[in-house]
Amino acid sequence: MTFGQWQTPNVSTDGTANYTPAFPVLSLYDPIVRFLSRDRAWRSYLLRLLSAAEGQTIVDAGCGTGTFLKTLARDRPGARLIGVDPDDKVLNLAREKLTGSDIELRRGYLRDLVDLIGPDSVTHVVCSLVLHQVPMGEKRAGLKAMFATLKPGGTILIADYGLQRTAVMRNLFRLVQAVDGKENTQPNADGILPELIVETGFDEVAELKVFFTPTGSISIYRGRKPGS
């Protein structure tokens, strides 16, 4: 299978949008992400940023095969957990991986979050490795929907390819660009994410950490919805 075929559009429920599948051979997705993105390092960092308070609701937007949800179920047992992804095949894998937990899985795009979950209803939205592969319109619409579904004072945590600061990182990131296409990925490499997060209305926006990986640097961004 060529990279071009990998990007074959998938029509959404309303027939207007499409997405890049997590990986052509889904059974290989987890080990490949482990190796190519050093996901253990940045997922443990994300976990530390999520407080252990009872009563929180955490949404994993574009949850893929449910790797982070599984960690959350183990380490944040008091939280209500919701995973959203547009790909049925990926959701089926997540369902298998999460058997025995009461995590809720829903099918939809980032932009559908409010319809799927409701406005002002969750304390955290986490979104990892999704925004770099969606068009600018979906980056904006997705962030807007995350904002709307958060309670005032709630936070978003984004882990994704961000500003590629050095020639080495820009060259390594070319592998991701060969797979996911340049149009959607280049704005991330140019550092657009914090601007978009601020533009959406979040405050206290910060790039908290940068992880160097074999496929470029992955940044952790946090933003807070204004209010109590």
Ligand X SMILES: C[S@@+](CC[C@H](N)C(=O)[O-])C[C@H]1O[C@@H](n2cnc3c(N)ncnc32)[C@H](O)[C@@H]1O
Binding positions for ligand X, rule: CB under 6 A: 19-22, 33, 62-64, 67-68, 85-87, 90, 109-110, 128-130, 134, 138
Give exposure, 6-18, as e/b (b: 16+ Cβ within 10 Å).
ebeeeebeeeebb
Q: In the bound complex, which residue of the shown chain has the CB atom lying closest to ligand X?
A: 64
Q: At what angle do helices 29-37 and 39-49 cross, to 10 degrees?
A: 80
Q: Choose between 109 and 202: whose C-beta lies nearer to ligand X.
A: 109
CA dihedral sign, ordered 198, 107, 41, 170: negative
Q: Choose between 68 and 173: whose C-beta lies nearer to ligand X.
A: 68
Q: Choose between 13 and 51: whose C-beta lies nearer to ligand X.
A: 13
Q: Choose between 64 and 154: whose C-beta lies nearer to ligand X.
A: 64
Measured between alpha carbons, how far apart are the two ends of the chain, in Å?
50
